[in-house]
Amino acid sequence: MSSRHVDGSLASIVCRVARETWELDAYRDLRRAIFCDEQRLFEQDDEDEWDQLAVPIVAVRTGAERDALVGVVRIYEPSPGVWYGGRLGVDVSCRSTSYVGRSLVVKAVTTAHAWGCREFWAIVQTPNVPFFQRLHWHAVEELEAHGIPHTKMKADLDHYPPSEDADIAWRPKASSYDAA
């Protein structure tokens, strides 16, 4: 788990695999708030078949009166060693801190790397390409998804050493290629 104070207060941000019920509920709520209500990419729910095997990762703001979930991302392994990240989102109130979105990406890729990832991909909204390029991702292909321009990008794993934190004990048992 990584943690940092982001605003000079006692509150700090921790990125971790979501396991507690409140985290999983808030993870779904924040996804809906960002991808349905804000961006209108989906009508009522952005869940799809990948959520059956995806690992939910969350950014939690701790140290205030009560913990609050402020960011989300999911990772999944469609074929052996090949991982995808998706549904990266940060609560509007916590964007552009130079920390939350970046930390979720680091957490996602380093966790997958610890679980045997050889390639890590994402299909990102094209306006966000510079955000990923700064984090050592490379654009590979332009395409359209959900009616808007997207870019398929690949992370440079040399910049994402395998995580050694306690969350790597939570490797999912079944991936799509062995779940049949």
- What is the contact surface with ligand COA in residues (CB under 6 A)? 34, 88-90, 95-102, 124-125, 127-128, 130-131, 134
Q: Are strands 2-5 and 82-90 parallel, antiparallel or unpaired?
A: unpaired
Q: How far is the CB of 128 from ligand COA (least distance, A)?
A: 4
Q: Which is nearer to ligand COA, 72 or 114 (CB)?
A: 72
Q: How far is the CB of 114 from ligand COA (least distance, A)?
A: 22
Q: How far is the CB of 15 from ligand COA (least distance, A)?
A: 11
Q: Which is nearer to ligand COA, 45 or 177 (CB)?
A: 45
Q: Which residue has the CB atom at the shortest distance from ligand COA?
A: 101
48, two tokens: 């799809």
Q: Which is nearer to ligand COA, 100 or 112 (CB)?
A: 100
Q: Which is nearer to ligand COA, 99 or 115 (CB)?
A: 99
Helices (H), ranges, 82-153: 100-114, 129-134
Instruction: Compute the distance between CA of residue 160 and CA of residue 111 in angstroms, rounded to an integer.
Output: 9
Contact 106, 136 (CB under 8 A): no
- Count other Cβ atoms within 10 Å, centred on residue 81: 14
Q: How far is the CB of 100 from ligand COA (least distance, A)?
A: 4
Q: How far is the CB of 10 from ligand COA (least distance, A)?
A: 20
Instruction: Compute the distance between CA of residue 159 and CA of residue 16 in angstroms, rounded to an integer.
Output: 19
Alpha-carbon torsion (36, 39, 42, 46), positive or negative: negative
Q: Which is nearer to ligand COA, 39 or 176 (CB)?
A: 39
